[in-house]
Amino acid sequence: MTEKTNSTLAAGAETTRSRLRAGFIKRDLYGFAAIVIVAAAGYVLFPDNLALLTRIIAIALLVLSLDLVTGYCGVATLGQAALFGSGAYAAGILSAHYGINDPLLMTLGGVFAGAVAGLVCGIVMLRAHGLPQLVLSIALVYLFHEFANKASSWTGGSDGLSGIVLDPLFGLYEFDLFGHTAYFFGVVLLLIVFTLLRIVVRSPFGMLCRGIKEDPVRIRALGASPHKALVKMYIISGAVAGTGGALSAISTQVVALDALSFTQSAEALVMLVLGGTGSLFGALVGTVIFMLFEDFVSAANPFHWLTMVGALLIVVVLFAPKGIFGTVQDLLSARKNTTGETRP
């Protein structure tokens, strides 16, 4: 009787896992399709403003990297631009100083530089917690900024790094002035990174990082090392941010000190909160809404657009504390549950 009960429970657990897995795959396919549809719509609706759309993709990668350490791990940081700027400068330096003009190699250089910067920042920042950790992140982004400013022979200093030349992608597709190739290259990069991150956050490692955010003491009691897990996540985060930085350098063919600015980090955090923390889709939604809204209101009212952006943020934080995506998701779940309960 006991064996039969155990086998029944095991079969039920396996069925539940299969259903969850199928649900996750279905949701991922919907998300993948949504990204493709939005990218196609952007290309059709804004054919003369592809540079802005490519910029949005680059910043979206930065916000995704921030979500990994803040949304999933609970690490307080305002220094994520240090990782983004490292990737941008690495890609730019490879072209301007070493003649490596292949976009794929430049992107790999940005990924590597971002990962190294993530390792350095992770080792330093994770020695503290709470407000001291936040202060360390601000100090790091200022140190990276000042280093890039002083190393002007390599970075161009305050004048920016220019002289970036790009070979055709795969030897076929030129990076034209209208930004078509850069845009499609950015969309493909975003899809690849997003798919890989969905795998990461659902893996046992991703679950461990969520557990560290909720209760690091219990995770330590179970025999795992929160510090090592967070450093690994910081390296992954740095690689993602470095990808965004490399895309920015490739699409604009110039790298300015703004890529390492504190303002860049603060805006990335605002976008993440706007969309919803702890959700990769939320990071994308927040980035798109913030940057399109900022572009629209700054063009409509160049003198008071910051007031409109501030009003938007106040409304979202007060009435949608889980962010736009998180709040909409909760409303849809509640509606689904209500419909299920009232169904005869």
Q: What is the DSSP string of 262-300?
A: HHHHHHHHHHHHHH-TT-HHHHHHHHHHHHHHHHHHHHH
- Residue 272 structure tokens: 């993440």
Q: For residues 291 and 55, is the Cβ–Cβ distance under 8 A?
A: yes
**How far is Cα of residue 231 from the mean position of the Cα atoms in its chain?**
17
Q: What is the pLDDT of residue 182?
A: 93
> Cα–Cα distances in Å, from 137 out to 11, 83, 101, 302?
48, 11, 32, 32
Residue in 297, 282, 221, 290 with CA at minimum distance from that of residue 68: 282
Q: State whether residue 63 is helix, strand or coil.
A: helix
Q: What is the pLDDT of residue 268?
A: 94
**Separation CA 63–CA 86 (nearest Å):** 15
Q: Is 161 left (phi over 0), alpha (psi -120 to 50) or beta?
A: beta
For helices 280-300 and 323-342, angle between their N-to-C axes, nearest 10 degrees: 120
pLDDT tens digits, the chain, 344 residues: what are they? 455 555 554 555 456 555 656 656 777 777 788 888 989 999 888 888 899 999 999 999 999 999 999 999 989 899 999 999 999 999 999 999 998 999 999 999 999 999 999 999 999 999 888 889 999 999 999 999 999 999 999 999 888 898 899 999 888 888 887 888 999 999 999 999 999 999 999 999 999 999 998 888 888 888 888 999 999 999 999 999 999 999 999 999 999 999 999 999 999 999 999 998 888 998 999 999 999 988 888 888 877 777 888 888 888 888 888 888 888 887 877 777 666 554 44
Q: What is the pLDDT of residue 323?
A: 85
User: How do the residues of the chain divide into helix, strand and coil, expressed in percent and rounded to 5?
Assistant: 80, 0, 20
Q: Supply the DSSP symbol for 71.
A: I
**How far is Cα of residue 116 from the mean position of the Cα atoms in its chain?**
17
Q: What is the pLDDT of residue 6?
A: 52
Q: Supply the DSSP symbol for 173.
A: B
Q: For residues 125 and 133, is the Cβ–Cβ distance under 8 A?
A: yes
Q: For residues 85 and 259, is the Cβ–Cβ distance under 8 A?
A: yes
